[in-house]
Amino acid sequence: AQSVTQPDIHITVSEGASLELRCNYSYGATPYLFWYVQSPGQGLQLLLKYFSGDTLVQGIKGFEAEFKRSQSSFNLRKPSVHWSDAAEYFCAGHQTGANNLFFGTGTRLTVIP
């Protein structure tokens, strides 16, 4: 079945430390992949997207993600985390022509001083 999986439910990092949030996908062909962020009480905001081409994509707020076909992964990274990055992060994907965007269960990020 088509899906995306986020193996980490909750991650805690210190402010200024680097961050990597994991996402694995299960699709027959290369899917379209996205990362969204949901801050407390807010709607989901698109951080970045991968369609094709360069496997390293840059997003807003200093985030980037790398598509690795060999590992079926699309991990989100940030070199230096800020306290305002504390939020819930969702990986999502869909295949060409598919209507439904499948979401992972989310990873909650806590940032400690």
Partner 1 sequence: GAGVSQSPSNKVTEKGKDVELRCDPISGHTALYWYRQSLGQGLEFLIYFQGNSAPDKSGLPSDRFSAERTGGSVSTLTIQRTQQEDSAVYLCASSRVTGAGANVLTFGAGSRLTVL
CA–CA separation, 61 vs 79, rounded Å? Answer: 11
CA–CA separation, 25 vs 45, rounded Å? Answer: 20
Pairing of strands 10-14, 107-112: parallel
Query: Going residue by residue from 24 to 63, which x/- string records binding to partner 1, judged by CB under 8 A?
Result: --------x-x-x-----xxxxx--x-xx-----------
By CB under 8 A, is residue 106 in contact with partner 1? Answer: yes
- Positions that interact with partner 1 (CB under 8 A): 32, 34, 36, 42-46, 49, 51-52, 90, 92, 94, 96-97, 99-106
